[in-house]
Chain A
Amino acid sequence: MSFEPKILGIACNWCTYTGADLAGTTRLHYPQNLRVVRVMCSSRINPSFIFRAFQLGADGVLVGGCHPGDCHYNTGNLYARRRLAVTKKILEFAGLEPGRFRVEWISASEGNKFAEVVEEFTAQIKKLGPQQKLKIDELQEKA
């Protein structure tokens, strides 16, 4: 059986989630490995969400937000950019493969880009294989 990764997508309500909607309404095909969680803004994402997702078995995490300057709340994604850059560096220094976490700016009109990014990211995670490092052994913790 081929490896089907579990990918957590965290998408901002105003751009990426709407972009995903557009990808759907225009009948674009993209891999079904992405599970999308909608948040109101990319700056609402607590970095612990990402660590926790990896612990609970995500093979990759994709964060989507508005293009810088386009944020519905004006400055949210500018904070998020700095914060998530630090998250990325921390995961990298801890020894997780850097390709497992990705941040993309996808606007509401970029259904195509959404499908492309998901396709590309899924292929990348498939190549990296299952994420074993942070994943919790079920016996060790019952969350």
Chain B
Amino acid sequence: MTDFKQIENNLKNEAKRLLEAGEVAVVLAYGRGYDEKHSMPFAAKTPADVEKIVFNQYCNFNMARYLKRYPCGTKIAIAAKAADSRAIIQLIQEEKVRREDLVILGIPAYGMKNQKTDEIIDGKTTGGIYNPVIYDILLGEEVHGQPVASPYDVLAGYEAMDKEARWVFWKKEFDKCIRCYACRKACPMCYCDPCFIDQSKPRWADKAPQSPGNMMYHLTRFHHLAGRCIDCGECSRACPVDIPLYLFHKKVAKECEEMFGQAAGMKLEDKPVLVDFRVEDSDKILE
């Protein structure tokens, strides 16, 4: 495995080369925050900006979030870890970005850490993979030999709970929500404008941070991300009150994979499962 410093240097070199050659207009990568632990999403637009790029174990942002900010046709280079590359594929499937506009700088990385808790983000809380699914340039050796947990293992405990216990658990979690919408901001797949929660006609849910509106917001958001969530876990890391949103997303992703036989963001030619159908889908899925 290539160490983080080496990846940072490779990232800088590639960014510099691409910007100097004029191949891309912007490089989406990570920049320095107020200390090492708090890096920030960063867009380098000139070769001079490249010096500000960093990469360390705390750079777990999903930069695919920022692809939609640039007008269609802008050439973008993007630093993508495993989950981020799935987000890019999913965005391409949904025709939000075009493959030919992107230069994907793949980062194989194991040992990324949560900024808040310093825990290693392993395969359970990301998609279960450490190498980018799609890339043009790989900035380091592929990661092999790390424990590859099934991404759904972490769910077992919650699935074993009976429905009353699950209800109490989720109610308690959603009641904590302060409706800052950081989950929506961090999510690479949340690009609706306006979001259903911001609509006033019809008003789908109450906007006050109280139980009913919170429940409506979160359940609907899980539904909107069904079959599209690429399991980067950014929503739960962005959450200021630590709601384990990734668990619910993961559960929905698991069900979608079981029912429709396709995981989100793995192949460019797939269609998102909910805008597709098969005549031979079984009615059993409704039971």
Contacts and interface: CB of A to CB of B under 8 A. Distances in A.
Contacts of A83: 274
Contacts of A88: 286
Interface string B267-282: 0000001111111010
Nearest to B155: A93
A86 B277 CA distance: 13
B273 A82 contact: yes
Contacts of A51: 215-216, 219-220
Given A81-B277, A81-B286, A89 B216 contact: no
Contacts of B252: 86, 89-90, 93
Nearest to A76: B277
Contacts of A48: 196, 204, 216, 220, 223
B212 A141 contact: yes
Nearest to A142: B206
Nearest to B223: A47
Contacts of A73: none
Interface stretch (A9-17, A29-37, A113-121, A132-140): A132-140
B17 interface: no
Interface in A20-65: 47-48, 51-52, 55
A139 B206 CA distance: 13
Contacts of A133: 167, 171
Given A48-B216, A81-B286, A82-B273, A95 B281 contact: no
Chain B interface: which size bin? Answer: 35 or more
Query: Which of B164, B227, B277, B281 has the most C-beta atoms of chain A within 10 angstroms of its own C-beta?
Result: B277
Given A69-B279, A81-B283, A140-B210, A93 B166 contact: yes
Interface in B204-257: 204-206, 208, 210-213, 215-216, 219-220, 222-223, 226-227, 248, 251-252, 255-256
Given A133-B167, A134-B215, A47 B220 contact: yes
Nearest to B216: A51
A125 B168 CA distance: 21
Interface in A84-104: 84-98, 103
A90 to B, nearest CB: 6
Given A48-B204, A82-B277, A140-B210, A95 B260 contact: no
Contacts of B275: 79
If over half of B's interface residues share one DSSP class (helix, strand or loop), that class is named, otherwise mixed; here it is helix
Interface in B148-206: 158, 163-171, 196, 203-206
A75 interface: yes
A143 to B, nearest CB: 8
Query: Which of A55, A69, A86, A93 has the most C-beta atoms of chain B within 10 angstroms of its own C-beta?
Result: A93
B72 interface: no
B206 A95 contact: no
Contacts of B163: 92, 95-98
Contacts of A93: 158, 166, 248, 251-252
B1 interface: no
Contacts of B137: none
Contacts of B120: none
Contact of B167 (A75, A85, A96): A96
Contacts of A136: 212
A141 B206 contact: yes
Which 9 pairs, one residue from A and one from B, show the smallest C-beta to C-beta distance? A95-B167, A78-B277, A95-B166, A85-B285, A136-B212, A89-B255, A86-B226, A141-B206, A103-B286
Given A96-B163, A134-B212, 14 more contacts: A47-B220, A48-B196, A52-B216, A68-B279, A81-B285, A82-B259, A82-B260, A82-B276, A92-B163, A93-B252, A94-B170, A95-B164, A103-B286, A143-B206
